Amino acid sequence: MGNSCAKGSEHKTFKWTIDGFSSLLDKGWTCSSVFEFMGVRWCLMLNPKDRKRNDEKEHVSLKLMLMRTSVKPDTVIEAYFKFLIYDQNFGKHREHLGNHSFQAASTTSGTSCMIPLEKLKTSRFLVNNSCTFGIEFIKVATVKTSSPLETLFVTKMNVFNEAKVYTWKIEDYFALKNPSYSPKFEVGRYRWFIKMHPTSEGNHLSLFLNMKQRNDLPKDSGNLVEFTISIKDLENGKDKKSTGRFHFSNNAPSWGWRKFISLEDFKDKSKGYLIKGKCCVEAKVTIVGPSKKQ
């Protein structure tokens, strides 16, 4: 694997414009769309209310994630980059240098606290509830490719992006294949299904939300989706839940948890998840807003 070092204007930058920034304030970490650089697939992660250790102030933070499918178990990808917040009036951007050795066991960079949230609200970085974040790659040990620009439109709740709940009733868990798929269901004019691995990494059950790929979906567009997957407690009402936010597209149609629950806990009769071979998985899906790369 050869090293490739960009020079000057050849540095590759991914820009992520968020229109409706205040809508993300109570959502924790939010992922951008998946983009490709030097033959490797990445996404940018944003937390608008992160906290530094021993600091009560809330900070706007960024992380870089390498998609697990982009790295082989015996491969290390050394990346050097700058996180950016763009000054929309005067071009005096705020930046933070970072580097990380990405590999199968470490696909996410450390957190970079870019700016206190209160300062962002009164700065030129946030204009009309819109701000632009980005990452500039300085050096990555892979092959060069084009760099995309994404705009994420976060809209107010309406009929299109109200939460919809789908329930997958499984009559015989022990008869499931690995993996198994729920029937398809519709949310926001898209069709979805739940994928389950009854046995994942030896002793866990994994669950993923999948978007059915569409031929009529433009290549560079997708949707930011907030979703919760639950395994229902059939006796005590104490469901096992996990919530995520991810940008679904034809390029990245699946997101979820490889270790959603240990098989020991799942099969524990006292927890009520699996009763006489029956179990129930629920997906609550909300399409937050569309985005498009330009």
pLDDT in tens, 201-224: 678 999 999 998 887 777 777 888
**Residue 96: exposure state from Cβ atoms within 10 A (0-12, 13-18, ≥19):** middle
- pLDDT higher than threshold 50 for residue 146: no
Q: For 175, phi and psi rounded to 5 degrees?
A: -95, 0
Tally Cβ neighbours within 10 Å of residue 133.
23
154: confidence class by pLDDT, cuts 50, 70, 90: low
pLDDT band at 267 (very low <50, low <70, confident <90, very high): very high
> What is the average pLDDT across 225-254?
89
Question: How many Cα neighbours within 13 Å face the side chain of 201?
Answer: 10
pLDDT tens, residue by residue, 90-145: 777 888 988 888 877 678 898 888 889 999 888 889 999 999 999 999 888 653 33
Question: Which residues contact residue 103 at a Cβ distance below 8 angstroms, ignoring those fewer than 6 apart?
Answer: 71, 75, 76, 77
Please report which residue ranges of 21-139 form alpha helices under DSSP H. 117-121
How far apart CA 190 and CA 167 sit, in angstroms, is: 17
Contact 61, 112 (CB under 8 A): yes
Instruction: Give the closest residue to 294 by CA, choosing from 87, 30, 35, 86.
Output: 35
